[in-house]
Structure 1
Amino acid sequence: MLNRFRFTSLALLLAATSWQAQAADTRGVEQLGSVLTPLGAEQAGNAAGTIPAWTGGLTQAPAGYKGSGSHHVDPYPDDQPLFTITQANLAQYKDQLTPGQLALFAAYPNTFQMPIYTTRRSGAAPQWVYDNTRQNAASARLTEGGSGFVGASGGIPFPLPQSGVEAVWNHIARYRGTYVIRRSAEVAVQRNGSFLPIISQQEGLFRFYDPKLTDPANNNILFYYLSQTRSPARLAGGAVLVHETIDQLKEARQAWAYNAGQRRVRRAPSLAYDTPIAAADGLRTADDTDLYNGSPDRYQWQLVGKQEIYIPYNNYRVTSPTVKYQDLLQVGHLNPAHTRYELHRVWVVEGTLKPGSRHLYSKRRLYLDEDSWQAAVVDQYDGRGELWRVSMGYLKNFYELPTTWSALDVYHDLQARRYHVQNLDNEEPNTIAFDQPVPDVGEFTPAALRRQGTR
């Protein structure tokens, strides 16, 4: 097993130091922006030449892009698959696949495929995020037990991770703009391929990336989130408001739900950990959202190392307005013709449920893109230790910022043979917008939720 993982000398050096009750370790900070990218990835390509060097990523929109809120133009329209992984040639590539991906081939041997494209290290972020990340590398530190962190703002908190929990925090606190608004659909695709889109409008205010706050981590608010359901009619008017804290043991996540029929706002104290999400037809838990979110305190996290994996990357076609949901959402999985996978280095982080803690998943293994800290694949195991669910984020560069985020999040249940998809906007007139005026935090209160609620 060890020969499948390639550890950098820097990672080994840093991993030797315990994170508990330690201030930030500044060794290696000078390598950010030289040997390492500004976010902590290896700048060089791999020895085989199948992963290129990072040269700055994609920082400008391609010709034809109409601006924030409009559907993205594929910056690589002429790229064609180098080859396609199928059940027939799977053995040749199994060392570059996760157990979850292998399980999808086993579950759908005749239809699941992975078209492999030229690796393009398009990951990028604004310079101010790079600058803050460098400062965080010297000042950020975990709170007791790793349940939160302080001393960081506006960037990756731990670009030189010393532990698994620090790498997990890098995913949770990665850059996704300051204020975002979008209208999109989510669907639960049944075993026979049927689905009913649930359309909502979401707003997110990422206080951690608010330049007006000098140390958002000490404010303990990561972001505010508001989602309002538009259709179907039986759900229209309902809304959910979340105040996401950084250290949720110090200050628990606060959530409220607006019931349009009763015209009442109520607290939703159980919207955390393994609470099933109704809109997902029970196919994802609260902390499955965004591939992984919330407090990491119920797991013991291990920084396993790095591996070269075929992950979804530069997926512009899966959200193209020319691709209709009926074509994209096939039985068991997305239509492979619209997906794109590339070979990238990922951080492998494994979380094992702590003794005495409760969760549906006994183990989770996260595969984090080294160029962005975005989770690309997550394998989740049930109480018997058997692989149960596989989540994949179909990543792309939102070049209007820029940042790397998932175009779609897909959650596969291997036992139920159903899957759930979030952030579909192919059939919407617009997509996510990052350039709207940043609202006051007063717009994210229970009182504001009540005012906005309509049938």
Structure 2
Amino acid sequence: MKTTRTLIYGAVTAAMMASANAGAAVGAEEASKLGDTLTPIGAEKAGNGDEIPAWTGGLTEAPAGYKGDGRYVDPFPGDQELFRIDQSNVDQYSDNLTPGQVAMIRKYDDYFMPVYETRRTATYPEFIQAKSKKNATSVELVESGNGLQNYQTAIPFPIPQNGLEAIFNHITRYRGGSFTRNVAQVTPQPNGDFSPVKFTESFTERVALQDYDPAEDPNVMFYFKQTITAPSRLAGNVLLVHETINQVKEPRRAWLYNSGQRRVRRAPNVAYDGPGTAADGQRTSDNLDLYNGAPDKYNWELVGKKELYIPYNSYRIASADLSYTDIIKPGHVDQSLARYELHRVWHVRATLKDGERHIYQVRDFYIDEDTWQIAVVDHYDGKGNLWRVAEAHAMQIYDAKIPAYAFETLYDLLSGRYLVMGLTNEEDNPYEYGTERSSREYTPAALRRAGVR
């Protein structure tokens, strides 16, 4: 298999020169490319003439075997592995890998990346596509890039002019309006031993609330509630978050209900590099979803666009036919169950500002152009050493037209440990979209009721 090329697209040259601390909407002529040469949310429609095909609308119909139960069966069961990238040929493919991906291959003799045919399955509902096009000419970064003006929903910057706009596309991307999911998180020991922590999570975008009022709480983007259901020593603990858009002006509101103490308290450390919930020190708060929260601690650079092998269409590894012990192995997940494809990604580099503190000095984000979901992140410590590597195993929720993660991983290259968040293989009712909710369900007063064992 010949080496694929890395491309730095000329179309992003102007964006690379733009300031990362200010943003202006693009003009009507530029926005007219959306739905023409660009997809409605800003990806290049055309293929690369080789491995990446043209985008033709994404995967919009469920395969015949899907029962509508939130267990997303593989729509491409006949696809075969084309080749794999391992220690024997990693140099040949390094232009289309991140330094972190290369480091994982070099660290573990049994770690490899199985590569499959590229299928551009991503799409969003038509109203989100239409709203994204309108956003292109109206939404702006304000207050030193910490807030958005004229934004309600969808992709705010389908034609990004700088790195901060690109990262806001990930932070604010449409996740289905409202959903409930039952998932597990594991933090294996170096020998592969693990005990899952299980969660029931509910998410509702503010505009999707039954009692939505545009004038009420306009800085809130979404509401999130996470209830631990296992193990018994943690069961009943609940985290509630009101996610604000401008978190410098108004920090994220978070509360914790402790089932043992039966009390609710504010949780100011659920942000930045505060410890992740029940994660055994293996992730920070802003590692969840590969990145979340306020961007003010970093300078954001739009490095360019390139072609990268990333986890994609990860239905097989999310199958209910697999147990967690089938997936979780020493050092990493069972890569034989993974699926990688060549896709175009935006490369955004975050560098810690002078005077700010965070355990990650530099973070390199690689954002899928078809979804605005982050696919891979390389994290560097204060000495400039590559430390942690995150990957999101993506799949399209075809019955709701929503890109999502089957699960996300975070590998520690130094300790040999890792974290997996979002596993559903052994869970009942893994996903339910379109749940009707009101703001009353996301108040601190509702926490105690949700936390009763």
Tell me, yes or no, if the aligned pair for 1:125 and 1:402 is still in contact at 8 Å.
yes
Q: Quick one: which of 17, 39, 42 aligns to 2:41?
A: 39
Q: Which residue of 2 aligns with 1:236?
A: 235
Please give the TM-score of this superposition, normalised by the length of structure 2: 0.96
In structure 2, relative to structure 1, the CA distance for the partners of 1:17 and 1:238 (3 Å cut) is closer
Tell me, yes or no, if the aligned pair for 1:208 and 1:221 is still in contact at 8 Å.
no
Q: Which residue of 2 aligns with 1:90?
A: 90
SS at match of 1:28: helix
Q: Which residue of 1 aligns with 2:183?
A: 184
Tell me, yes or no, if the aligned pair for 2:16 and 2:301 is still in contact at 8 Å.
no
Displacement of 1:253 after TM fit? 0.3
Cα distance in 1 for partners of 2:213, 2:253 equals 23
Displacement of 1:92 after TM fit? 1.1
Tell me, yes or no, if the aligned pair for 1:347 and 1:369 is still in contact at 8 Å.
yes
Displacement of 1:144 after TM fit? 1.9
Displacement of 1:452 after TM fit? 2.0
Q: Which residue of 2 aligns with 1:151?
A: 150
Q: Which residue of 1 aligns with 2:274?
A: 275
Corresponding position: 1:100 with 2:120: no
Displacement of 1:208 after TM fit? 5.2
Q: Which residue of 2 aligns with 1:412?
A: 411
Cα distance in 1 for partners of 2:151, 2:198 equals 35
Q: How does 1:169-248 map to 2 (within 5 A)?
A: 169-207=168-206, 219-248=218-247
Tell me, yes or no, if the aligned pair for 1:14 and 1:160 is still in contact at 8 Å.
no
Q: How does 1:133-144 map to 2 (within 5 A)?
A: 133-144=132-143
Tell me, yes or no, if the aligned pair for 2:209 and 2:439 is still in contact at 8 Å.
no
Q: Which residue of 1 aligns with 2:162?
A: 163
In structure 2, relative to structure 1, the CA distance for the partners of 1:342 and 1:301 (3 Å cut) is same
Cα distance in 1 for partners of 2:6, 2:207 equals 33
Corresponding position: 1:448 with 2:450: no
Corresponding position: 1:426 with 2:425: yes
Tell me, yes or no, if the aligned pair for 1:190 and 1:331 is still in contact at 8 Å.
yes
In structure 2, relative to structure 1, the CA distance for the partners of 1:114 and 1:217 (3 Å cut) is farther
Q: Which residue of 2 aligns with 1:25?
A: 26
Q: Which residue of 2 aligns with 1:327?
A: 326
Q: Which residue of 2 aligns with 1:350?
A: 349
Tell me, yes or no, if the aligned pair for 1:244 and 1:253 is still in contact at 8 Å.
yes
SS at match of 2:118: coil
SS at match of 1:169: helix
Deviations 1:224-249, CA, capped at 9 Å, x for gaps? 11011111111111111011100001
Q: Comparing 113-122 with 151-160, which one deviates more in the overlay? A: 151-160
Cα distance in 1 for partners of 2:299, 2:182 equals 36
Tell me, yes or no, if the aligned pair for 1:309 and 1:346 is still in contact at 8 Å.
yes
Tell me, yes or no, if the aligned pair for 1:112 and 1:336 is still in contact at 8 Å.
yes
SS at match of 2:165: helix
Q: Which residue of 2 aligns with 1:299?
A: 298
SS at match of 2:144: helix
Q: Return the letter of the residue paired with 1:239.
A: V
In structure 2, relative to structure 1, the CA distance for the partners of 1:9 and 1:310 (3 Å cut) is same
Displacement of 1:180 after TM fit? 0.7
Q: Which residue of 2 aligns with 1:65?
A: 66
Tell me, yes or no, if the aligned pair for 1:152 and 1:217 is still in contact at 8 Å.
no
What is the count of residue pairs matched by the alignment?
A: 449
Tell me, yes or no, if the aligned pair for 1:153 and 1:216 is still in contact at 8 Å.
no
Cα distance in 1 for partners of 2:421, 2:215 equals 28
Displacement of 1:13 after TM fit? 3.5
Tell me, yes or no, if the aligned pair for 1:60 and 1:400 is still in contact at 8 Å.
yes
Displacement of 1:9 after TM fit? 3.9
Displacement of 1:299 after TM fit? 0.2
Tell me, yes or no, if the aligned pair for 1:182 and 1:432 is still in contact at 8 Å.
yes
SS at match of 2:65: coil
Displacement of 1:6 after TM fit? 3.0
In structure 2, relative to structure 1, the CA distance for the partners of 1:208 and 1:292 (3 Å cut) is farther
Unaligned runs of 5+ residues in structure 1 are none
SS at match of 1:451: helix
Deviations 1:407-454, CA, capped at 9 Å, x for gaps? 111011111100101111101122111032x21111001100112221
Cα distance in 2 for partners of 1:399, 1:207 equals 23
SS at match of 2:227: strand
Tell me, yes or no, if the aligned pair for 1:175 and 1:209 is still in contact at 8 Å.
no
In structure 2, relative to structure 1, the CA distance for the partners of 1:146 and 1:21 (3 Å cut) is closer
Displacement of 1:16 after TM fit? 4.2
Q: Which residue of 2 aligns with 1:371?
A: 370
Tell me, yes or no, if the aligned pair for 2:222 and 2:244 is still in contact at 8 Å.
yes
SS at match of 1:390: strand
Cα distance in 2 for partners of 1:66, 1:216 equals 40
Tell me, yes or no, if the aligned pair for 1:272 and 1:294 is still in contact at 8 Å.
yes
Corresponding position: 1:360 with 2:359: yes
SS at match of 1:139: coil
